[in-house]
Chain A
Amino acid sequence: MITKRTLCATAVATLAALTLSTSALAQKAKVESKEDIVLGGSIPMTGVFAFAGIGVDQGIKDYLTILNEKGGIKGRKVRYVPEDTAYKVDQSMAAFKKITSQNKVNLYYGDSTGFARTVNPELERAQSMLMTGASFAKELSDEKKYPLQFMVGPNYSEMVGILLQYIAKTKPGAKIALVYSDTEFGRDPVDAARTDAQRLGLSIATEIVTPPASVDVSAEVIKLRRADPDYTIFHGYVSAPIPEFINQAKALNLKTAFMGTFWSMDNSTVMRMGPNVDGFLGVMPYRYYYDTEGKAPMLERIRKMRPEYQSTAYTQGFLSAMLLTEAARRTLEAGNELNGKNMKVALSSIRDFDTGGLIGVPLSIKGNSIPIGRIYRADFKQQKMLPASDWINLQK
């Protein structure tokens, strides 16, 4: 007969054996891959940002698979070590500490503005890493304050700047409404938007601040109707309350055109907003998964690897891995030590870089952001975001 004691003893013994064997395997793997270049990641696989984290994670993995199949960087494989953060700064930091204390990390992907800010002193102290991440906060564009970080795309102010440039060209002197969430994310581009609008001869008809993901926006829509803007720019949201705004505006026959920024622009996010979203505009720094125009061998490769639709977060992760490893490659090829400072110098040396079609124009990196983007328009019938402008480069 199996007694409780026997059962407990067996369970403990099994657990101990499993622990010992797996730690031995892990130790062996560590020794074998001593020369690997490690890309660590604080990735939000759970929590409110998991929708993006999962895509980012797969994007990084896929790019590194392609890179390692080609032999890695100067014969050194790039190993990806992610940890889930639940999109919480303390857990992101724990993940960073765990990954960096168990591996010699040179490249890192962070999950939020809060994390980028918190980890910055650690990066400067270690001087061994180059980091990018999911945040496009304007603050991170400051090269002096964040010398070892960069973002894979325009910052939020530049995203709104691209939208405003498009508006100024399409409808000079247009009236704009800014609708943003009462969060750090939402307020980030507001000051710059006011300045840019004035510079481009546009007027800000109204500014509406809402709680993030709010549901009841009736009062705000009435405010919007009173202002009667030609364009309404949303920022600081992923989805809600954008669909509610659009539906109510449609019911009131408002003629305003609605626009979004990167995190509300994924194809599946937009199409889930319903049929009224048709004509929704927004800025996107990358080509969509299904874009077939122009030469885009990397997109074709992605489509071969993953036949189902991949989100824009996936592309962001993919491109992050591409640029991080490109910086490492240039550093090693120049015969320099693989440290944060050298990799940042190497990254800044990138001129007219071909991303394999992920971005429609060759990119050059000056500073911490890449202010390139394009306006896409939602076509609900085709269930696709389609190009509505050429690529807009604020560097020029």
Chain B
Amino acid sequence: MRIGSAKETYAADTALFDSATQHAWVAILLVALVTFPFVVDDYWLYLACLVAINVASTAGLNVLTGYTGLVSMGQAAFMGLGGYTVAILQIRFGTPMLLNLLAGGVVAMLAGLVVGLPSLRVKGLYLAIATIAAGVLAHFIFSHYTSLTGGTGGLTLPPAQIFGLELDDSFKLYWVIVPITALMLLGVANLFRTRIGRAFIAIRDRDISAEVLGIPLLPYKLLSFAISSFYAGVAGGMFAYFFRAVTPESFPLLMSIFFLASVIVGGMGSVLGSILGAVFMTLVPEVLKLVVGWLPLGDNAMLVLSPVRTIVFGLMIVLFLIFEPHGLAEVWRRVRRFFHLWPFKT
């Protein structure tokens, strides 16, 4: 806790941002996010949009895995459902972007409710396998329901439009994707100030005790699945608008593992962890490429160092798991604690 910031009310105690310093940092972050597109090139804008999409999906998975303790390997499939819903609505009906994204989220949410049903009976690895099955099923539908999904060739979307403006590049999409992600993060952060969020945490910590305390497990577990897959669906919809193409191979099992790794590396049960995890997993390979590019190794640098870069990335994840199992969020908290308590030793 920050020195000299005693809480006098419950509201103050549960506030998302509890001090003037934090408000100032949030304001700085907002200004940075607004000015960012004007000072960077297309490459960084592309990465910013990609990070935002991944943050949204990771935040959803963190609700399910980090806060409720239910392991899911179906996040990519839910993203696929959202992506395909958005693509079909956009191509066939030309409905507004925001409505399509909402529909993408709802379709994924409904699928999440079905996939979540086994969660009352099975947990841990067993549930993970059940959710993998959902992914396989989704892939089969994407590949074989050709009249709707375009089969293995998938669907190509026209650019999204808002008020007649075509969102056909990263700069324009940034102004939609980043605010939606911010809104979704705010939603998750607020969720855990409510009874529902606390019920999720209680289920994670000990489901039998939670039930004894009056938390009906099935509705809450299903609700957690629903929220998580809704987030994945919206993220998948943004993915579809961003890449303007969806195919069955756009949402592989490896993508689900990517999000699970983001949750673990970032920090389970933490909104900040979702952000840091997704940023880490998306940007570290790119940053490593930049570092490799700086090394004066001549024309064959890429050939020699590409595998090294992949090894370094893998190693970084392993080292994180060994030395900081609570994830990047804990590192962040430790750094903050250092400054809060400075000049006293933490």
Contact = CB atoms under 8 A, between A and B. Distances in A.
Interface of A: 18-19, 22-23, 25-26, 43, 45-46, 50, 54, 57-58, 61, 82-84, 86, 89-91, 93-94, 97-98, 100-102, 114, 117-118, 120-121, 125, 139, 182-184, 186-188
Contact of A97 (B168, B170, B249, B295): B170
A120 B168 CA distance: 12
Interface string B32-56: 0000000001110111001000000
B143 A182 contact: yes
B244 A84 contact: no
A89 B306 contact: no
Given A54-B303, A57-B302, A101 B169 contact: no
A286 B297 CA distance: 33
B325 interface: no
A86 B243 contact: no
B118 interface: no
Interface stretch (B86-94, B148-156, B178-186, B332-340): B148-156
A7 B329 CA distance: 26
25 contacts: A18-B294, A22-B294, A23-B294, A25-B296, A45-B302, A45-B306, A45-B307, A46-B309, A50-B306, A58-B303, A61-B299, A89-B243, A93-B46, A97-B45, A100-B42, A101-B42, A102-B41, A102-B43, A117-B247, A118-B243, A118-B245, A121-B168, A125-B168, A184-B154, A184-B247
A104 B170 CA distance: 18
Contact of B250 (A58, A82, A89, A98): A89
Contacts, number: 88
Given A45-B303, A139-B153, A86 B244 contact: no
B247 A114 contact: yes
B289 interface: yes
Interface in B56-103: none
Nearest to A236: B152
Interface string B109-145: 0000000000000000000000000000000000100
B303 to A, nearest CB: 6
B248 interface: yes
Nearest to A117: B245
Contacts of B310: 46, 86
Interface residues of B, number: 37
Interface in B286-304: 286, 289, 294-296, 299, 302-303
10 smallest CB-CB distances across A and B, nearest first, come from A45-B306, A184-B152, A101-B41, A97-B46, A98-B43, A97-B43, A101-B42, A22-B294, A84-B306, A101-B43
A236 to B, nearest CB: 10
Contacts of B168: 121, 125
B294 A19 contact: yes
A301 to B, nearest CB: 19
A50 B309 CA distance: 14
Given A114-B247, A121-B168, A184-B154, 12 more contacts: A19-B294, A22-B295, A26-B294, A45-B303, A84-B309, A97-B46, A97-B47, A98-B43, A114-B245, A114-B250, A120-B156, A184-B153
A183 B249 contact: yes
B48 to A, nearest CB: 11
Contacts of A43: 302
A43 B306 CA distance: 11
Q: Among A57, A101, A187, which residue has the most Cβ atoms of chain B within 10 A?
A: A101
A138 B43 CA distance: 30
Nearest to A116: B245
Contacts of A117: 154, 156, 245, 247
A52 to B, nearest CB: 13
B307 A83 contact: no
Given A22-B294, A125-B168, A187 B151 contact: yes
B159 interface: yes
Nearest to B54: A90
Interface in B241-255: 243-245, 247-250
Contacts of B302: 43, 45, 57, 82-84
Contacts of B296: 22, 25
A285 to B, nearest CB: 23
B152 A187 contact: yes
Contacts of B154: 117, 184
Contacts of B143: 182
B284 to A, nearest CB: 12
A125 to B, nearest CB: 6
B53 to A, nearest CB: 9
A188 B45 CA distance: 34
B249 A83 contact: no
Contacts of A139: 153
A131 B243 CA distance: 18
Nearest to B308: A46
Contacts of A93: 46, 243
Nearest to A83: B289
Nearest to A145: B156
A46 B312 CA distance: 13
Contacts of A19: 294
A85 to B, nearest CB: 10
B244 A183 contact: no
A26 B42 CA distance: 19
Nearest to A91: B285
A54 B43 CA distance: 24
A54 B45 CA distance: 29
